[in-house]
Structure 1
Amino acid sequence: MAAIVALALAYWLELQEPQWAILTVYLLTQSSTGAALAKGAFRFLGTILAALYGLTAVKLFSQDPLLLVGSAMGWTFLCYYGAARARNFTAYGFMLAGFTGLLVIFQGAAAPDAAWLVALDRVSEISIGIACATLAGALVVPDHAGTQLRGLMATSRRALAAHCALALRAASPGARVIDDRNALLPLLVKFDALRSYSRFEAVEMRADRARMDEVTRRFLGVLAQARLLHLRLAGGGMADTPELAPMRAALERAAAVLERRAAAPALPENRAGCAELSRLRRDLAALGRQIAQTEHGLPFEARAEAVLICRQAAEMLRGLALLFVAEGAVFRPQPAGAAPSKEARRSAQASAVMQGARAALALLVFCAIWYATQWDQGLAGITGLALMNYQCVNTDDPAKLGWPYLRAVAAACLAAYATMGFIYPWLEGFAALALFLLAVLVPAGLLIGTPRYARAAGTFTIFYVAAAATGNVFTPDPLAFANFCFALAFGMFVCLMVARLVPVTAEGARRRVAARTRAALLPDVARGLRPAAPASREILESLGALLPQMSLARPAHDMLARGLLASAASAWELGRLRRIADSPALPERLRGTMRDGLAIFAAAPGGPPLAAEEALARIRSALAGEAWPEGPASPLLVEAAASLCFLEDRLSRDHAFRAFVFGEERA
């Protein structure tokens, strides 16, 4: 209904391209009011800025083709550079500005005296579509982004509690734990998108960005602890002895509580949930201290492994409780969080420059073809190229989205051709046209609202209405229409070919994160040059930033994610070993041996893992000689042995960590 109203208004105002009004409605179709408002606001802003730039370029360069194309390339570069640096609908606004700027520049250059009319019509058509889509979303069964975010957070919290319960049981199949984790990670990308949309809603619906980033980091930290705890338990880390029966009972009790919380239709308030998790955590931490400080007749290694399991389980529950606290604060604003690191900014900037340069190169290639052939539908080709550029930004594999997009466009053009040839001649007046469009658009809207068909149905509908909508007077020209459709598809094809010849992926960013983690963060923690908490935080934040452009179905991406999760947890254990090595309670000889071993471990990443294994073995041998003396050093020795067990597990059992730290990943 919103689309038909928009088309009626465009006809009534006698705009040149009424199809842009109906097309805008479908481009703004979103699952929440906030998302529609956000997309509409950035689309409107991008259209205004692009129209002003296009008019300026036509005024200055319309008589010089080289300068005109150069100005269009410069605008394309700036817009797609901005799109690559921004996120969500801010990026969409940049891309829309690039698209609109090209239309105004080239269409206005063809008739400079009418350039103002071209820009005005374009802005008017887009504004009508935005107004109709926004009003429909706000008035007809509105669903707010803030409400959706709260619901997603509750759902993900239940799913994470169930995942932690799986991790606490050694009998849980490893494949199930992996699948469960991979299903949880994409939720973090949705967190950020819904948070950004909520900015356009009422104050009480808005989510704070800094606090949402904190939720993401806490979420990843819990996943890291759960993964490594299950690896330990599944690998036989808990001896079946009477002395450890209280620990097994505590783990089972924690798993049962988490399963009960995951199965509840509505979770308790965060305060109650945190209190329950804190009690479980305190019980496990107390058991770990008791095992470390008291002789149980257990071998030293068994004591260390039991302490490690208690510690990991307690840290996982602590992380879950802190996540609940962070979630509870998401809708309370606070000052802006810390800016991204210099390395992250430099990496994002390099990728954005390449994205902008590739978009400008695709435009240059098509303009050269246009000039050589003097094609009368060159503007349609520019339209197709600009639209396909949407699919090529911020994705490692443009063809994965681009080819289905091109097929949907071709199908829409064929359907529109059939409509214009066999249906429109029988329609008289706008009422008949509106009834026909209603019969077509309602089923299309239902398909767009179905996740399985949303992308294909949305693309088909957008291009169908763009091609099938006509001016106030129906003047069919089959040859011109076929020429237009071919040019549109050819422009898309040129863009895809340039994207294939000039690949721009996030692989460089992934490699830089991997290199910094293994060459700077972990070694600095081992040497005592950097606290463990900031290092672990930076690793998890880097993973959170990489997730939108990762596909965990790809082995290399899955390996990188697991390697970063393991590295974040390993930073804590390296920091704990370093603190113990600096403790005056230990004999100086043992402290020196531990510091030397950690220095060797710090120098090992990037090379053969043998040096790291030997360094840990050297520390373990030194601990074994000091294991049994009574006094304040005894619990520290058990704690150090537990950290060694953790790190040795990473080298011997955790293939992802071993491959990641020693440079074998292929991200």
Structure 2
Amino acid sequence: MFLFDPRNLLFAAKAYGAAMLALYIAFAMDLPHPSWSMLTVFVVAQPLAGMVQSKAAYRVIGTIVGSAFAVFAITAFNGSPELLSLVLSLWVGLCVYATVLEKTPRSYAFMLAGYTAGFVAFPIVDTPAIIFDTAIARCQEIILGILCMVVVSQIVFPQRVGPQLMGRLSAWFDDAGRWSSDVLTERTAGTAGEADRHRLIVNAAALDALRVHARYDTPELRGADAGIRRLQRRLQMLLSNAVAIQDRLRTLHRTCPDLAEAWSPLLADAASWIDGSAGSDPQDRQKSRDQLLARIDAAAPPDGEIRRDADAMLVRSLAARVRDLILYWDESLTLRETIQSGERVASREEAPSLHRDHLPAALSGAAASVAVLLCTGFWIATGWSHGYLAAMMAGVGASLFATLDNPAGAAAKFLNLAIVAMLLAGGYLLFVLPAVTSFPMLVVALAPVFIPLAAAIAVPTHIPVALPVLLTTAATLALQNTYTIDFAEFLNGGIAQVIGLGSAVVALSLTRSLGADWTVGRLMQAVRRDLARLAGGDAGLDRRRFEGRMYDRLGGLVPRLALVSARPEGRHLMRDALAGLRVGLNLLALRRDRDRLPPEAAAELSRVLAAIRGHFAGTGGDRSTEDLRTALDGTVARLSAMETGPAGTEVLLSLFGIRQALVHFQRPA
């Protein structure tokens, strides 16, 4: 049980201690809403210090930006409640749109900027003269809570992200090497092999998140940041090469088992080199690598043979992929050793390009705007004194879950848990707090509820339940320097929260109830769209951008596979996506080599690229995948009969690679 885990209890004690420290200072400073300082501590609390600092930094930015916009909105539109409501609702929607698009920790700043504006502006629409004081107080309360959590996390048994990152990186590195070795020796068959591949893809995404956080609490890793990104990219490229090798070995066993048997000893030696290279001396490793590459080059069929024999083309393609696998692994080992030694990696590796889908982002933004408008419209129409709270909670509910496949379901669960939290807070307000006469007594009184809830949020599986209860309880208590209980005020506040969160549920249900199937379909459409762009020669899509987006999409597919695998086509989604990656890499190679071909050969290649573009763009009429494979065979045959030089050989191999990948990657009907 999580309550008996010492690490969870330590985290809970740190978070609760920081919350009480923030509350005490807020009382001493006589801030208007001390409970917001306490609540902020739990919002930014994370088990690792770097995660706390990262989240804290973006929360500060979001709070300041949101408060500044609230000042602008109140100052500019205080004479028109309707226009003010429209402006604030559109601001929340715009920030949610940016939150969904920005798939890095920076997205937290956009989300905070959105609903913070409502938190500052809505309660004082009738007293606009105090907007500056309100905005400053809000920033003070939030920053106070953040500072308390950051200081406690850094001083009291700090847990650094850096060691976690290096440990995870080493584990992922070992998994990648083991899986690559298993591919070469053909030990990755069935569901176990697929599970290994999926784990590598998911862990790659998790590593990137840790890398971002490690910059905040492990200074020695800041100089290695570019090197870690480069290492991630090399290992991802190694993964795509291993998948291509796996595919070619299966084809070789099916079409020419004698050749497959002849290559087995060399592939086994390559696997042994990968297994034994991690701890070897760099000079010895380089020597054995060069010997292995020389053997591969000697065993690969020459240019003339691959132009006459399809089996020779397959073997040459296999040799090229194995050669790349060895080179990527060797470079990865060098990068890993450099990073572990603390040396600065001389690399200008750019941040990877990520997949961004504007449609779900726009739908989420529209849902947030509609939810806030519904509540502000009801508030204006009825003149209800607590309408502002409903509008605030509508913005929160629509913002928190915007990035999920089923945000309406998550918001509905949050609403149910918020009701439980309000009942819990009501018990405190009616029966516990009246007996509290000092701050130490308050600390003792709150501990039985807040410490177990804080321990629960240290466990990812418990966060969806524990965090809503914890935050709503802290917000509903609304602790002040002086205790007063107004049951009508409490009841109205509870009703307003229910109406606000309910409005968010309704708005999200109307716009974002399409689920994982729809998201997966959008991801696969994006893959096909990029392949069409590559075949069309779009200069705006280079290798870095394409690979970054594809690996991001692969990471997005893995957690959704369990939800869509019941459908026949769903079981092969990952296979199709990986095939799409290989098609794209070969298209990039064709684009690179086309200018080096003679005019006649370049024209022939352009024709087949146009056919590929039409296939993936859906403009090729009724042309099936088999028709496209036939067209590729024809192009390979015609180019093989031409004098095209070394560039022609590379083109033939790339066309063959596309043909192989098309066995798996199908255009939807």
TM-score (norm 1): 0.81
1:561-593 deviation per Cα after TM superposition (whole angstroms, max 9, x unaligned)? 544432333345567779999999x9x999997
Question: Relative to structure 1, is the Cα distance of residues 334 and 371 closer, same or farther in structure 2, using a 3 angstrom cutoff?
Answer: farther
1:433 and 2:442 correspond = yes
- Using the alignment, how far apart are the partners of 1:259 and 1:403 within structure 2? 50
SS at match of 2:125: helix
- Using the alignment, how far apart are the partners of 2:94 and 2:605 within structure 1? 53
What residue is the counterpart of 1:454 in the other structure? 463
- Using the alignment, how far apart are the partners of 1:175 and 1:74 within structure 2? 47
- Using the alignment, how far apart are the partners of 2:524 and 2:333 within structure 1? 32
1:166 and 2:175 correspond = no
Question: Relative to structure 1, is the Cα distance of residues 251 and 46 closer, same or farther in structure 2, using a 3 angstrom cutoff?
Answer: same
1:475 deviates by 2.3
What residue is the counterpart of 2:327 in the other structure? 318
- Using the alignment, how far apart are the partners of 1:542 and 1:398 within structure 2? 24
Are the aligned partners of 1:396 and 1:549 in contact in 2 as well (CA < 8 Å)?
no
Are the aligned partners of 2:368 and 2:399 in contact in 1 as well (CA < 8 Å)?
no
Question: Relative to structure 1, is the Cα distance of residues 281 and 480 closer, same or farther in structure 2, using a 3 angstrom cutoff?
Answer: farther
The amino acid that maps onto 2:124 is G
1:247 and 2:263 correspond = yes
- Using the alignment, how far apart are the partners of 2:454 and 2:490 within structure 1? 26
What residue is the counterpart of 2:9 in the other structure? none
After the TM superposition, which residues 72-83 of structure 1 pair with which residues of structure 2 at under 5 Å, given as runs? 72-83=88-99
What residue is the counterpart of 1:385 in the other structure? 394
1:447 deviates by 1.6
1:410 and 2:419 correspond = yes
Name stretches of at least 5 consecutive residues in structure 2 with no aligned partner: 1-16
Name which of 32, 49, 70 aligns with 2:48.
32
What residue is the counterpart of 1:264 in the other structure? none
The share of aligned pairs that are identical, in percent, is 23
- Using the alignment, how far apart are the partners of 1:112 and 1:509 within structure 2? 45
Name which of 190, 196, 202 aligns with 1:180.
196
1:290 deviates by 2.5
What residue is the counterpart of 1:154 in the other structure? 170
What residue is the counterpart of 2:3 in the other structure? none
1:144 deviates by 2.8
Name stretches of at least 5 consecutive residues in structure 1 with no aligned partner: 262-266, 627-631
1:113-156 deviation per Cα after TM superposition (whole angstroms, max 9, x unaligned)? 44444333322221221111010111112233333332322221
- Using the alignment, how far apart are the partners of 2:287 and 2:176 within structure 1? 17
Name which of 647, 651, 656 aligns with 2:662.
651
Question: Relative to structure 1, is the Cα distance of residues 189 and 374 closer, same or farther in structure 2, using a 3 angstrom cutoff?
Answer: farther
Name which of 529, 540, 546 aligns with 1:539.
546
The amino acid that maps onto 1:617 is D
What residue is the counterpart of 2:378 in the other structure? 369
SS at match of 2:424: helix
Are the aligned partners of 1:281 and 1:315 in contact in 2 as well (CA < 8 Å)?
no
- Using the alignment, how far apart are the partners of 1:415 and 1:165 within structure 2? 56
- Using the alignment, how far apart are the partners of 1:227 and 1:442 within structure 2? 47
What residue is the counterpart of 1:102 in the other structure? 118
Name which of 86, 106, 115 aligns with 1:70.
86
Are the aligned partners of 1:76 and 1:360 in contact in 2 as well (CA < 8 Å)?
yes
- Using the alignment, how far apart are the partners of 2:570 and 2:99 within structure 1? 23
Question: Relative to structure 1, is the Cα distance of residues 377 and 549 closer, same or farther in structure 2, using a 3 angstrom cutoff?
Answer: farther
1:142 and 2:154 correspond = no
After the TM superposition, which residues 15-30 of structure 1 pair with which residues of structure 2 at under 5 Å, given as runs? 15-30=31-46
What residue is the counterpart of 1:570 in the other structure? 583
- Using the alignment, how far apart are the partners of 2:207 and 2:200 within structure 1? 11
What residue is the counterpart of 1:482 in the other structure? 491
1:231 and 2:247 correspond = yes
Question: Relative to structure 1, is the Cα distance of residues 292 and 409 closer, same or farther in structure 2, using a 3 angstrom cutoff?
Answer: same
1:4 deviates by 1.2
SS at match of 2:301: helix
Are the aligned partners of 1:277 and 1:317 in contact in 2 as well (CA < 8 Å)?
no
The amino acid that maps onto 1:109 is V
What residue is the counterpart of 1:500 in the other structure? 509
- Using the alignment, how far apart are the partners of 2:122 and 2:605 within structure 1? 70
What residue is the counterpart of 1:57 in the other structure? 73
Are the aligned partners of 1:198 and 1:207 in contact in 2 as well (CA < 8 Å)?
no
- Using the alignment, how far apart are the partners of 1:634 and 1:615 within structure 2? 22
1:409-441 deviation per Cα after TM superposition (whole angstroms, max 9, x unaligned)? 222222222333333344332212111223333
The amino acid that maps onto 2:471 is I
Question: Relative to structure 1, is the Cα distance of residues 642 and 67 closer, same or farther in structure 2, using a 3 angstrom cutoff?
Answer: closer
Aligned-residue Cα RMSD (Å) equals: 4.2
1:184-222 deviation per Cα after TM superposition (whole angstroms, max 9, x unaligned)? 222233233233334434642326665555444333322
1:287 and 2:300 correspond = no
- Using the alignment, how far apart are the partners of 2:137 and 2:227 within structure 1? 42
What residue is the counterpart of 1:629 in the other structure? none
Paired positions, count: 633
Question: Relative to structure 1, is the Cα distance of residues 442 and 598 closer, same or farther in structure 2, using a 3 angstrom cutoff?
Answer: closer
After the TM superposition, which residues 195-210 of structure 1 pair with which residues of structure 2 at under 5 Å, given as runs? 195-201=211-217, 203-206=219-222
Question: Relative to structure 1, is the Cα distance of residues 286 and 465 closer, same or farther in structure 2, using a 3 angstrom cutoff?
Answer: same
What residue is the counterpart of 2:6 in the other structure? none
1:487 deviates by 1.6
- Using the alignment, how far apart are the partners of 2:44 and 2:655 within structure 1? 55
1:466 and 2:475 correspond = yes
Question: Relative to structure 1, is the Cα distance of residues 252 and 497 closer, same or farther in structure 2, using a 3 angstrom cutoff?
Answer: same
SS at match of 1:414: helix
